[in-house]
Amino acid sequence: MLTNPYRELEKQIGYRFRRKSRLLAALTHPSFRHENDGDAGDNQRLEFLGDAVLGLAVAAHFFETRPDLDEGAMTKLRSRITSTRALAIVAAGVSLGKFLRLGRGETASGGHLRDSILADAFEAVIGAAYLDGDMRAVKKIFRALFLPALQNDASSHWHDNPKGSLQEWSQQHAQSNPRYHTVSQTGPPHAMVFSVEVFVGSVRAGKGEGTSKQAAEIAAATDALQHLYRIDMPLPDAPPG
């Protein structure tokens, strides 16, 4: 029985691909194709398609649920939600970077953590999902990754201050501040990668990686927010002491 290497990612994004080759293409950066002549393609065309269909999904959501918004307001909201930074944070929240196929140079320079690469790959995954299951697939991913935060009016944590948003959530639901723990620090001095876990109350709520401790904590906070807003339930208090 063949093992599905993308099971974890598919669970996170809320959609299971019928043709894994489409997802593989979405996760293939041009730098990998350039270094591997036998590889047929990369994710650039899928990125173009994904940008369009994600924009449509977001626009349709606001059109159907926010009759109070005019065209200008909907345009601004769509641009904010589909910005490079916003998509990179969502991608980091589902650990997309660890599934990417990058060239040696991009890998050595921490390309799997770079906003532009993560955002482009996430759009490519959306494009691949559209080809695999039309707009129904795109809407599944939208509901899994975007809708919970929109419904909780928490979209700001995608952009400017995920650590602050997690602290606010933690204080409200667990009566404590989040605690960050550095799990590991690997790589050469010029390309260090930090791995961090964040605890809310007594629960490990998220984990993340980054080229600095601060970046890793931001990724961990984003990962925690993705899960906490999805389940929307209080966590146990931290143990005494």
Q: Is 35 a residue of the active site? A: no
The closest of 14, 21, 20, 180 to 90, measured between CA atoms, is 14
Q: Which of 42, 47, 51, 120 is catalytic?
A: 51
Q: Is 230 helix (H, G, I), strand (E, B) or coil?
A: helix
Q: Is 123 a residue of the active site? A: yes
User: What is d(CA 127, CA 108) in angstroms, rounded to the nearest whole number?
Assistant: 27
User: What is d(CA 87, CA 33) in angstroms, rounded to the nearest whole number?
Assistant: 23
Q: CA Rg, the chain, in Å?
A: 18
Q: Which of 106, 123, 217, 223 is catalytic?
A: 123
Which stretches within 66-114 are classed as H helix?
A: 71-81, 84-93, 104-108
Active site residues per annotation? 51, 123
